Amino acid sequence: MSRRVQGSGFRLRLRRAQTAGFTLLEVMIALAILAASMLAVSQLVSAALRNHTRAVNLEVATLLARGKLAELEDQFERTGFKDFDQDDEGSFEDEGHPEVHWKAEVSKPRVELGPDRILAMLTGAGGEGAPDLARLLGQQAQGGQAQEGSPETLFPGAAALTATLQAQLAVIGEQIKKGVRELKLTVSWRDGAQDESFSVVTHLAVLAPEGTP
């Protein structure tokens, strides 16, 4: 009776020893899964931090660009424009961000602003349907002579009026060229191993600078 009890107890202890713990292969697989999970989490956190840093830098650069645009606009309203293209660059060190740089490019209009073009702009017409100053005033001459029954015959002063208006529109065109500029502001900064930048393009019209007597 006692021998059977001892034998049964021995088999029970042996079975427990065989089922307790993990094998080396199981431990290695579990560690591999844990390492892969930790790596994925680390990459997600790193990407989130980079995106947050980039968003903060972009917000700072946007605010600095707005301030610089207002500063340049105020400057040109006081001094006016030069008769040629201008450019300038610097950093926002005075604003506490020496790592952020700016570059301003001021360009003259490249369009032709002759009398007919000015007239088209004033009347809102364009293309082939743009009005011609001489036609509007009724000047229909052939070989230097006005045709009989034409508006030139009915209104002898049409030719002189046409020349006067053309001269005035030419002056207006030159004033627009002097007082209108395209301003391109580029803001750039270093973000880790790569350069980041954006550009803002606007148009300024200063026909009567404050510094003009």
137 touches 162 (CB < 8 A): yes
Tell me what pLDDT residue 100 has. 94
The DSSP result for 139-170, as a single string, is --EETTEEPTTSHHHH-TTHHHHHHHHHHHHH
CA distance 47 to 35: 18
Tell me what pLDDT residue 59 has. 92
And the tokens for 195?
């350069």
Tell me what pLDDT residue 179 has. 77
Per-residue pLDDT of the chain (213 residues; tens, 9 = 90+): 444 444 455 454 545 555 556 788 888 998 999 999 898 888 888 888 888 888 889 999 999 999 999 999 999 988 888 888 999 999 999 999 999 999 999 998 776 666 666 656 566 555 544 455 555 555 444 444 444 444 444 455 556 666 677 666 666 666 777 778 899 999 999 887 889 999 999 988 887 777 655
Tell me what pLDDT residue 130 has. 47
Q: What are the sequence ranges of the domains in the chain? A: 1-125+166-213
CA distance 186 to 197: 7
Question: Shortest CA distance to 107 belongs to which of 173, 181, 175, 174?
Answer: 181
CA distance 175 to 117: 14
Largest CA distance in the chain: 149
